[in-house]
Amino acid sequence: MTTSFSEDWARSLVDAQAFQDEQRRLAYVWTFLGFADDAAEDGDWFRASIATKSVFVQRFGEELRGFENVCAHRFYPLRHEAKGNGPLICGFHHWQYNRDGRVVGIPICKMVYGKPAREVGGHLKKIELSTCGTMVFGRFPGGTSLTLKDYLGEAFPILEAMTKVRRRPYYMEREIRANWRLNLHITLDDYHGPTIHPSTLGRNGYIPSMSMRRYFRFGANSAYLFSDDEDCFEKLLAGCRDGTYRSKHFFVFQILPNLIIAHVDADRPFWFSNIMQYSPLAPDHTTYRSWSYPSPFEADLSRFARAKRFVTDIFRRPIYQYYFNRVVREDVAVCERLQEVAHQVDRRPLLGAQEERIAWFEEAIRNFPN
C-alpha cells in the first residue's frame, strides 16, 4: 500500500511551489461548493473555493451560474461575505456584470476607455456547475470531460438521497494550521480511534477483526461501511436508488478532492448525516466546513420512538453536536502536530490494513486526471 505514495509525497505539505502545482491540477476536479438552498432566490449568491481559488455561485432566475471571485478590471474580489443577494457589481470601481459574466456597466466609460462598456471586453472567468440533489459542485473548465454523475459513480444516488435535508443543518467552520491532505488522511484512518477518541469513536477499544470493516473503491473515491454483510454496499446503493434504504450502517464516503460524507448513529436507532470539507488555503493552512443534520433515511423505530422523536431531537442534536465537535478538535490537534514536523518527512508511511483508504486517496491525487 505504501507504494501508492510518491517518493516526495510530503513535499506539498511544506513547499509552496509543490503545493501550487498540486492545486493547479485539482482545479479541474468536481469540487463541492455548497447547497442550492443557499441560493434559492433570484440574486442570491454564496462564496466557496476550488483549489485555493475564491469562487461564487449566483442564482439568475431558474439558473445557477458560477464565476471566479475576481473582477476583470483590477482583480478585486466581488464577493466578501459567505453569502448574500445583489447584482454583480465590483465594490472597487463599480464595474457591473451580467449573468454571462460580461461587463455591461463602467463609470465614465467613454471618458476613460473611449468606447462603450460592452466593447471594453471585460469578463469574469466562468466555472462549470453541476448538482447532485441539493449539493452544488463546480470545476474550472479545461479538464476531463467526465460529468458529475459519472465522476461520483456509485456515490451519486447515495449523496442525492442523503441531501434530502428536512431540518436546517448545523454549520461549523474553523481554520486548521495543517495541510489539507493530513486532514483527509485522519478521516480515512480507522486505526486511531482508541488512542485519540477514547470516549467517542474508540470507546469500545480495538475491534479484533477486520470482518466488519468493508472498504470499497470506485474511481478516485472510496467508501467504508461497518457491517457484517458482504453485500452491504450494493444494498445501500439499491436502497438509495429506489428510496427504500433504512438507517442501519455507519458509513463514510471520501470524494476527491476534499469531501467527506458520513452517516453516524448518535443514539441508535437515531442517525445523523455529516458533510465535511477541508479546503486548502496554503501548504500549512486549511479551512474546515461541516454541515450536520438528522439523517433523511428512516430507521426501524418503534411507534413510541417515532412519536417522541420531535421532542427528543431538541435535546439529542446539541448533545450529538458536542461530541462531534470534540472528535473534530481531537483530529485537528493531531494534524497540527503532524504539520510541525512535516518538513522532516522524507519517506513513505508504513500503513496497515485499517489505513488502506489513505493509500487509495494518495494514489488518486497522484494520478489525477488519468
Among 165, 135, 115, 182, CA closest to 338? 182
Q: Report the interhelical angle of 232-242 vs 155-162 (nearest 10°).
A: 60
What's the pLDDT tens digit per position in 343-352? 999 999 999 9
Cβ 320 vs Cβ 272: under 8 Å: yes
For residue 277, what pLDDT is reported? 99
- For the segment 249-276, the average pLDDT, to the nearest whole number, is 91
Q: Give me the residue label for grid cell 464595474.
A: 95
For residue 150, what pLDDT is reported? 97
Structure pTM? 0.94
Q: Which residue has the higher pLDDT, 16 or 308?
A: 16
What's the pLDDT tens digit per position in 300-344? 666 666 666 666 677 788 888 999 999 999 999 999 999 999 999
What three-state secondary structure class fits 268? coil
Task: Report d(CA 122, CA 99) in Å as an integer.
Answer: 13
For residue 129, what pLDDT is reported? 99
Residues 6+ apart with CB under 8 A from 370: none
Is the per-residue pLDDT at 146 higher than 90?
yes
What's the pLDDT tens digit per position in 21-79? 999 999 999 999 999 999 999 999 999 999 999 999 999 999 999 999 999 999 999 99
Is the per-residue pLDDT at 268 higher than 70?
no
What three-state secondary structure class fits 358? helix
- For the segment 289-309, the average pLDDT, to the nearest whole number, is 76
Q: Give me the residue label for grid cell 522532516.
A: 344
Phi and psi at 291, nearest 5°, equal: -130, 125
Q: Mean pLDDT over all residues of the chain?
A: 93
Is the per-residue pLDDT at 111 higher than 80?
yes
Give the strand pairing for 221-226 and 213-218.
antiparallel
1 HSE (CA, 13 A, CB side): 13
What's the pLDDT tens digit per position in 200-250? 988 888 887 788 899 999 999 999 999 999 999 999 999 999 999 988 889
Is the per-residue pLDDT at 147 higher than 90?
yes
Q: Which residue has the higher pLDDT, 313 or 86?
A: 86
Domains parsed from the chain with CATH numbers: 31-145 (2.102.10.10), 152-367 (3.90.380.10)
Q: Give me the residue label for grid cell 453516524.
A: 264
For residue 246, what pLDDT is reported? 86
For residue 209, what pLDDT is reported? 79
